[in-house]
Amino acid sequence: MTGLAGTLVTFVYFLTQYMRIRTVDRRNETQNAADRPFVYALSVASSGSSWLFFGALGYAAQNGVEFVGLFIGIVLAFTIGFPFLQKVVNLAKSEGITSIADLIGARYGKSFSVTALVTFIATIGLIPYLSLQFIAIHYLYDAVWGTYAPHTHGEVHQSEWLLLSLLCFLSFFAILNTGKSIRAVDRYEGVVHALAWASGFKFLVFLFIGIAAIAFLFGTPTEILDRLIISQAQIPAIHLTPSIGNIIALILIGAASVLLLPSQFYLTVVENRSERELRMARWLIPVCLFITGLFVLPLAAIGSLVFHGLGQASPDLYFLSLPLFANQNWLSAIAFTGGISAASSMLVLPAIVLSIMISNDLVLPVLLRWSARKGRDAVSDFTHIIPKVRRLVIIGIMLTAYLYHFTIFGKVDFSELALISAVGMMQLVPPFVGGIIWRHATARGAAWGMIAGFIVWTYTMILPAWFDHAASFIQNGPIGIAFLRPHALFGLEASQYANGLAWSLFANLLFFLIGSFSKNATPLERIQASVFMAENSTSPVSIKNLQSSVTIGQLKQTISKYIGSEQAHLAFKAFQEQERSVLDEEDPADFKTVHFSEQLLSGIVGSPSARMILSLAMGPTSVSQRQAQILLDHATGALAQNRYLLQTALDQMDQGIGVFDQQYQLMCWNRQFQLILHLPERLQRMGTPFSSIISYLFARGDMTDMNEQPLPDELGRFAAQWRIKLKNTDQTIEIRSNAMPDGGLVTTFTDITSAVETDTVLRQTNEYLELRVRERTAELTLANQQLGQAQRRAEEANISKTRFLTDAGHDILQPLNAARLYSSALNERLRKSREKELVGNLDSSLEAVESIFNALLDISRLDAGALKPVISVFKIDTILQQIVRDFQPAAQEKGLELKLVKSSAIVATDSNLLRRLLQNLVSNAIKYCKSGKILVGARRRNGQIELQVIDTGIGIPKSKLNIIFREFSRLSEGMKESDGLGLGLSIVERIAKVLDLPIHVSSVIGKGTVFSLKMPISKTSTLTVNEEHPATERYGRLDGLVVLCVDDDERSLTGMKELLETWKCVAHGVSSGAALKEYCTKQAASPGVILADYNLKDENGLDLVRFARGHFDCHIQAALVTAERSEQLRDRAAAEDVSIINKPVRPAILRALLSHFQQTSNSD
């Protein structure tokens, strides 16, 4: 890249920036507002992006990773310190503050001395930093012109004429962009956009150079890494151990630079228009610094590696030296442009801001005092003086920085020079932070502290930069006193900037505290302290009654000197309309008028100078200078505090609030008013007509409910509640207006978008739900009809099934009963015959068939609800012992141990149904248990009894636990162990439902199964007395017992007679009622027992028993032998004292019953 190309690039860059500034300044506020948050955030990041080029890179090359301290400080300021930033921004807006000097001076009672001292320190402190930019530009041109030599030689080369030309151009550029207005609060929108663009450009350039250096300029990343590892001992960026003290110092400097650099304060605070912009900067700046900061150390390390031993490049210029060394002209041009952008960005705006501060806080007060000494009309018009002063100051600042760069050229690195300025600006930290957090800080303390800190900073940092490092003063200290060496003051061995920062801040803080405690704060200082600390202060009662001797006309005349007669007249006219009062030129000015005048001047010359102007204006005509001072202090402080509290309260409300006077002109508003309506700044000013706001909204298309724009005299109709739809944001705003007693409107603007959307969604949802309800109602009605029909069919089918099983049971069991009786009789007769085994097998087969039919009948009765539980109170151990006793032989036959766990618990349930349930469970356990034991018992759990049947059988898979209670359901594993139809557990489940006992099963394959059911323990201890039948195995001889058998089935009748005769009974048989009557007529004596079937043709067994007893006039023992199992029949039989034996008849039960009847007859 040639020097001519560099010059051309510089020209094109500045031309582009100038065109950008002009374009933005010509646009209206609405057009600029679209990207304002992004522009604001990038502009605030401009100093950080410049530090990447001229500071961070050179510092990292010599000190390694310590450079991140500055970035950490900036990030902490925008993250942890974000609430503090918000507070400062809000304070500046409420107090009309335009610079860091104004803010610190306003805190200390709007002290001129404090403001002037801050301006002086800021100016002196920034000169080294501005000189740094000239040195950087000097180096850039030397590099591209090929005249660059190591900076340690301190030589000046032929590119100086370019630098001098650039000085003139930059001064002209800054003057050109100060604008024609003298208002310090005017925003330089074009300059801010140019800075934002330059900041983004610098970030991208540095990122691109970093990627290029790592990726391809000097080999692949792997090759570069290998070379760095080999040469790491010669590369300070890699092998140096970071100093914690240096990092802490850099963190403090980085955090403070966000607000204390004059240009940064202007960008961060004065240029801020909304909290949205500040929140954008909160995340964008840390992200940009983090991404680009990742390439600082690699670039520094690669530069040290490439130029090690060559002495051809300064570490501060590695970003340009590396592309030049690699002969990459296009990349060198990009890097050169980035360097020019970084340097010029830190020259133009700082010069503009410093010119405003110096003119307002140093030059103008001197002119005012000189004018006061010469007479009131010595200077009649400042409107032309102030712009000229600012332009001269810009030239002076630029020239001073340019000349200073010759003094330190080649002696100090870029990073050292930047840190000298930064430590100088750090002298503003104690009065700035202390004034916001400490109520007792005073102007004297602030001034003493800043002076002490400035002296120490000059001694420890400025003087060493002027003198040669080998000078005796530097190496040995003044007159040989070693502990007074500037770079190691009092023996503190640290880096130059850490040493200077530590001692200057120590001196600053010490004298800040001494000065603050040595004198009490003035009344205005206390008022301002309350404002800055957001405390509630009580204004003096006499404020409203104070008046000055200066007249309204005199105030107008004074202000006209600074803003012009026309502007002053318009301003007082607006104030008069706002206060709804008539201001006569000869009337004395009250405290409101004085405060208004001060606020008006503050936007032009700053708060301290405005206060001085009014003090001088009131001095000659006031009763005394002190009275005028008290009036001004009280008026300013009280009104500022009251306005601050009112504005703060309004800003905390969710609704936008606008107050309009009798002429419907805007008088007061809050932050939400601006955010909700998105009005341009020209409509957010006091005195804006309501009609102008409505017209703007109508023209923007937001007044969708109006066909035409309302006329001014129609605005009164807006005193009602109404809504508008904002076209741009699609928001719905509800407007409520209330008329004030003396005219005007108080209007609230509420964003009800969410509520409207919710109402719309609810309405649509309701309509949809109503439609769905109608559809579902029709579907449910149809489904209910179909379900009712299906239910009726199912009930009819179930009734038919139950009736069929019941009716068929009698017909099926009749021949089965006959076969069983025949087989039993045959078994008795062939007891000693060889055919006994065959007859026994036949009897067993019949018994199995009988069990199947009984199970089916039981299921049908349970399903039909024919079985109703008969609740009785009994000991659970009674049933458990009987079940264990009954099944013990079967268990022993299979080699199983059947064990009982006794329990004394008393329960209340149907004992017969419970016995059948447990019998089925124990029977199943014996069937499917190969070996081991079966445990039957009860446990007490939480006031209940839990019955358990536990076996060590084959187990049940978890996937099959839900099907074992189905009818005819048998598992393949169980089929191998025992025969059966799978009805036992189905009956168990149905009985459990009838008894309302939940049944639970758990099982482990190969280990066993646990069946359990829970029931409550009975609260009563009175047991129910049950008549128990005699044990079936205890029966005596039946010889000679006369038994009358009644059955209409000939086979059953014959079989019964055959069985009875084998027991030596005298058996008679009849098949109908007529045959019974004939039998009774022929027999003289009554039979001993009557065994009658219940279901006979056209008659029943109970009627026949009753007839026989009546005929013989005696109580004959009788039993119904029937397949009928209903409860009604049992109740009727019990009432007639007739026993029941269900078909098919079990011979053992029949014989036991006959033995019981015989014993009963004998005892009678």
Which has the minimum average pLDDT: 414-418, 572-576, 844-848, 893-897? 844-848
For residue 496, what pLDDT is reported?
A: 81
Residue 563 banded pLDDT, cuts 50, 70, 90: low
Pick 664 or 500 by higher pLDDT: 500
Highest mean pLDDT among 565-569, 692-696, 713-717, 1095-1099: 1095-1099
Mean pLDDT of 727-732: 72
Each residue of 34-50: pLDDT tens digit? 678 899 999 999 888 88
Do residues 589 and 656 make contact, with C-beta atoms less than 8 angstroms apart?
no
Run of H or E residues at 462: none
The single residue listed with the structure tokens 């049944």 is 999
Do residues 565 and 599 make contact, with C-beta atoms less than 8 angstroms apart?
no
For residue 725, what pLDDT is reported?
A: 73
Q: Average pLDDT of the chain? A: 77
Residue 546 banded pLDDT, cuts 50, 70, 90: very low
Which has the minimum average pLDDT: 16-25, 184-193, 1040-1049? 184-193
Mean pLDDT of 736-762: 79
Residue 542 banded pLDDT, cuts 50, 70, 90: very low
3-state class of 1000 per DSSP? Answer: strand
For residue 450, what pLDDT is reported?
A: 95
Each residue of 801-849: pLDDT tens digit? 655 555 555 555 566 666 656 666 666 666 656 565 566 656 655 665 6
CA distance 393 to 354: 8
pLDDT over 90 (residue 943): no
For residue 832, what pLDDT is reported?
A: 57
Each residue of 961-1010: pLDDT tens digit? 777 877 766 665 555 555 555 677 888 888 888 888 888 899 888 888 99
CA atoms within 13 A on the CB side of 575: 21
For residue 367, what pLDDT is reported?
A: 74
Task: Kindly state the tokens that stand for 265.
Answer: 């304060």
Pick 712 or 365 by higher pLDDT: 365
18: left (phi over 0), alpha (psi -120 to 50) or beta: alpha
Pick 1007 or 549 by higher pLDDT: 1007
For residue 509, what pLDDT is reported?
A: 95
Do residues 247 and 65 make contact, with C-beta atoms less than 8 angstroms apart?
no
Pick 339 or 406 by higher pLDDT: 339
Cα 690 to the chain's mean position, in Å?
41
Q: Which domains does the chain have, with CATH numbers?
A: 3-176+190-523 (1.20.1730.10), 536-651 (no CATH), 656-751 (3.30.450.20), 867-1016 (3.30.565.10), 1042-1163 (3.40.50.2300)
Pick 556 or 439 by higher pLDDT: 439
For residue 431, what pLDDT is reported?
A: 95
* Amino acid at position 738, single letter: N
Q: What φ, ψ does residue 488 adopt, rounded to 5°?
A: -145, 55
CA distance 251 to 66: 10
pLDDT over 60 (residue 692): yes
pLDDT over 50 (residue 536): no
Pick 1060 or 18 by higher pLDDT: 1060
pLDDT over 80 (residue 1029): no
Pick 672 or 743 by higher pLDDT: 672
Mean pLDDT of 70-76: 93
- Helix residue spans in 962-1087 (DSSP H): 972-977, 984-995, 1050-1062, 1073-1082
For residue 328, what pLDDT is reported?
A: 86
- Cα–Cα distances (Å) from 191 to 90, 195, 667, in that order, read 23, 6, 32
CA distance 276 to 271: 13
In the DSSP assignment, the letter for residue 361 is I
Which has the minimum average pLDDT: 327-341, 841-855, 1029-1043? 841-855
CA distance 967 to 855: 11
Mean pLDDT of 862-889: 79
Mean pLDDT of 676-682: 75
Highest mean pLDDT among 330-339, 661-670, 785-794, 922-931: 330-339
Highest mean pLDDT among 48-57, 158-167, 701-710, 841-850: 48-57
Mean pLDDT of 1056-1074: 88
For residue 1027, what pLDDT is reported?
A: 40
Q: Percent of the chain beyond pLDDT 90?
A: 15
Q: Percent of the chain beyond pLDDT 70?
A: 71
For residue 165, what pLDDT is reported?
A: 61
Do residues 101 and 119 make contact, with C-beta atoms less than 8 angstroms apart?
yes
CA distance 645 to 622: 31
* Amino acid at position 407, single letter: T
For residue 455, what pLDDT is reported?
A: 94
DSSP 591-650: HHHHHHHHHHHHHHH-HHHHHHHHHHHHTTTSS-HHHHHHHHHHHHHHHHHHHHHHHHHH
Residues in the chain: 1164
CA distance 104 to 528: 11
